Amino acid sequence: MEDGPIARFWEVDLLRGIAIVLMVLYHFVFDLDYFKVYEVDPTSGFPLVVARTTVTLFLLLVGLSLTLSYSRARMLGQDGRFFRRLLRKSAGIMILALGISVVTYLFVGSCFIVFGVLHMIGLSLLLAYPFLRMKRANFIIGLLFISAGIILQTVRVDSLWLLWLGLAPQDFCSLDYVPILPWFGVVLIGMGLGGVLYPDYSRRVKLPDLSGNLLVRTLTILGQNSLAIYLIHQPIMLGILYCSRTG
C-alpha cells in the first residue's frame, strides 16, 4: 500500500487485527470458565497478561489513529469538520457502550459492565482533542495519568459516581473495567507515538510491504472491522457454547 494523504497504513490495521484476535481468545477462555465448561482462572497468570496486552494495544491504537485522522484532516483542509466528526463518533460509541451496560446488567446482574473498554474509547475521543497538538509532550502527560491511576488503585470510596475516573468501592465487581486513570494515559502515549512515527500523515520508518500476505491481509481486514467484531463475537461464542452443552 502506498503512502499518501488518504492512504491507510496497513501496519496499523494489522496491529488492531492482532488485538482483536487476542480479545476473542481471552473472551473464549473467560466464557469457558464462566459457564463451567473448563475450569481456568482468567483473572491471573497468562490469561490476565493477554487481557492487559489486548486493552493496552487497543488504546495505544486509539491514540495513534487519532493523530493520523487529525493530520489527514489538516492536510485536506478539513480542520473545522474534524471535531464535529469526532463528536459524532464519540456519541455513537458511547451509545453502543450504554447498550452493552444494559445487556450485561440484564444477563449478568451486579457484575455488569459499568465502564468498560468501549466506554473508555468513546470518552477518550473527546478527552484527547485538546492534546492533539502536544505531540511528544503526550508521552510525559500519559505517564502522569498512568502514575495517578496506579496511586488511585489503593484508594477506596463509598460512591459509584467516580467509577469512570478510577475510584471504586471495595466490593465493586465488573466483567470489564477500564477507567480514565490510568488508561487514558495509554491513549496519550499512543498519540505521542503517532506524532513520532507518522508526522504529517507520512510513515517515518520504512517497512517492507507485507500488505499482500494472506495472513497479514486477513488480520488487517479484522482490524478494519474491529468494532463490529467486538459487538458480535460474544453472542456468537455464547451461542456456540450453549449449543455444545445442550446438543
pLDDT in tens, 110-157: 899 999 999 999 999 999 999 999 989 999 999 999 999 999 888 889
Three-state SS annotation for the chain: CCCCCCCCCHHHHHHHHHHHHHHHHHHHHHHHHHCCCCCCCCCCHHHHHHHHHHHHHHHHHHHHHHHHHHHHHHHCCCHHHHHHHHHHHHHHHHHHHHHHHHHHHHHHCCCCCCCCHHHHHHHHHHHCHHHCCCCCHHHHHHHHHHHHHHHHCCCECCCCCCCCCCCECCCCCCCCCCCHHHHHHHHHHHHHHHHHHCHHHCCCCCCCCCCCCHHHHHHHHHHHCHHHHHHHHHHHHHHHHHHHHHC
Do residues 231 and 177 make contact, with C-beta atoms less than 8 angstroms apart? no
- In a domain, residue 5? The reply is no
- In a domain, residue 3? The reply is no
- In a domain, residue 96? The reply is yes
Give every CB contact of residue 215 below 8 A, 6+ residues apart in sequence: none
Q: pLDDT means per 10 residues in the chain (247 residues)?
A: 60 97 95 86 92 97 96 87 94 97 92 96 96 94 97 87 92 94 98 95 92 96 96 90 72
pLDDT value at residue 66: 96
In whole angstroms, give the CA distance from residue 118 to residue 132. Answer: 21
- In a domain, residue 204? The reply is yes
Distances (CA, A) of 4 to 1, 68, 199: 9, 12, 12
- In a domain, residue 133? The reply is yes
pLDDT value at residue 1: 34
Q: Is the peptide bond before 130 cis (omega within 30 degrees of 0)?
A: no
In whole angstroms, give the CA distance from residue 225 to residue 242. Answer: 26
Do residues 199 and 191 make contact, with C-beta atoms less than 8 angstroms apart? no
- In a domain, residue 181? The reply is yes
In whole angstroms, give the CA distance from residue 12 to residue 148. Answer: 28
pLDDT value at residue 246: 67
pLDDT value at residue 192: 97
- In a domain, residue 1? The reply is no
- Domain span holding position 129: 10-246
Domain count, the chain: 1
CA-based R_g, the chain, Å: 19
The total of other beta-carbon atoms located within 10 Å of residue 127's CB is 15
pTM exceeds 0.75 for this model: yes
- In a domain, residue 99? The reply is yes
pLDDT value at residue 170: 87
pLDDT value at residue 241: 81
